[in-house]
Amino acid sequence: MKYLILYSSYYGATKQIAQWIKERLDIDKKEVMCYNVKDFDKIQKTSYDVVVLASPLYSGKATDEFYSFLKNSFQKLVFKKLVIVGVAMQKKACFDENHQLRFLSDYKDIREKASVQEVLLGELVFDRLNKEFQEKLFAFYKSMNLDEKQFKNMLSPRTLLNKKDVWDFAQKI
Ligand SMILES: Cc1cc2nc3c(=O)[nH]c(=O)nc-3n(C[C@H](O)[C@H](O)[C@H](O)COP(=O)(O)O)c2cc1C
């Protein structure tokens, strides 16, 4: 079985998850390639049994480079199974009432091809973010009317990365 994992990642959480998926598939002796979507042009082969696409979610959306890949390159891939993964700090709001990933609502044709849609939990370290992201996040937390303790908690480094969950997921795809 040939697998291709394509991920986008700004701060490393989605890259880590992609690597854990590969690691678990490697144990089962699958043939696995793992690339950043930005390096899609370096890929020689286009035909796979399973394609896994993963992007972090920022304000409910995937990254620009992930959407560019969907627009410009996705159609070059041939596969039997498509798996799409969002990486976020919570799962529920990422799905609509039909359990479809919201961040693909403008890409319904692609979303319909995905037999697996999942959200895996990531990591958020405020002090590592660029100024624009810090300001966005700060404004978002302010709008939530948190008390001082909750606010401080949100700004402290938080990781929900869980290798066991990622390995369990990888076993099923
Ligand atoms: C500005 C900003 C907006 C975010 N928006 C969301 C969101 O809408 N939903 C969510 O669950 N997580 C949100 N997150 C958390 C990211 O999805 C999380 O940090 C993710 O692990 C980042 O992945 P990466 O390290 O691969 O870039 C946001 C983080 C930032 C900084």
Tell me, yes or no, whether 49 lies in a domain: yes
Confidence of residue 8 (pLDDT cuts 50, 70, 90): very high
CA of 90 to the centre of ligand 1 (A): 9
Tell me, yes or no, whether 101 lies in a domain: yes
The CATH number of whichever domain residue 34 belongs to comes to 3.40.50.360
DSSP helix/strand/coil, 4:
strand
pLDDT tens digits for range 66-123: 999 999 999 999 999 999 999 999 999 999 999 999 999 999 999 999 999 999 999 9
> What is the DSSP track for 48-115?
EEEEEEEEE-BTTB--HHHHHHHHHTGGG-EEEEEEEEEEES-SGGGB-TTS-BGGGTT-HHHHHHEE
Tell me, yes or no, whether 120 lies in a domain: yes
pTM above 0.85, yes or no: yes
pLDDT score, position 46: 86
Q: Give, in order, the Cα–Cα distances in Å from 55 to each of 64, 72, 101.
A: 10, 16, 12
| Mean pLDDT, residues 33-42 | 96
Q: Which of 7, 14, 17, 58 for a ligand 1 pocket mutation test, highest count of atoms within 8 Å of Cβ?
A: 58
pLDDT score, position 66: 98
Q: Which residue, judged by its Cα, is nearest atom 27 of ligand 1?
A: 10
Range of the domain at 46: 2-124+157-172
Tell me, yes or no, whether 133 lies in a domain: no
pLDDT score, position 45: 85
Q: Which residue, judged by its Cα, is nearest atom 4 of ligand 1?
A: 58
pLDDT of 26 strictly over 90: yes
Q: Which residue, judged by its Cα, is nearest atom 16 of ligand 1?
A: 88
What is the number of structural domains in the chain? 1
**Percent of the chain residues topping a pLDDT of 90:** 90
Confidence of residue 168 (pLDDT cuts 50, 70, 90): very high
Atom of ligand 1 lying closest to residue 125 CA: 19
Tell me, yes or no, whether 151 lies in a domain: no
Tell me, yes or no, whether 146 lies in a domain: no
Average pLDDT, the chain: 96
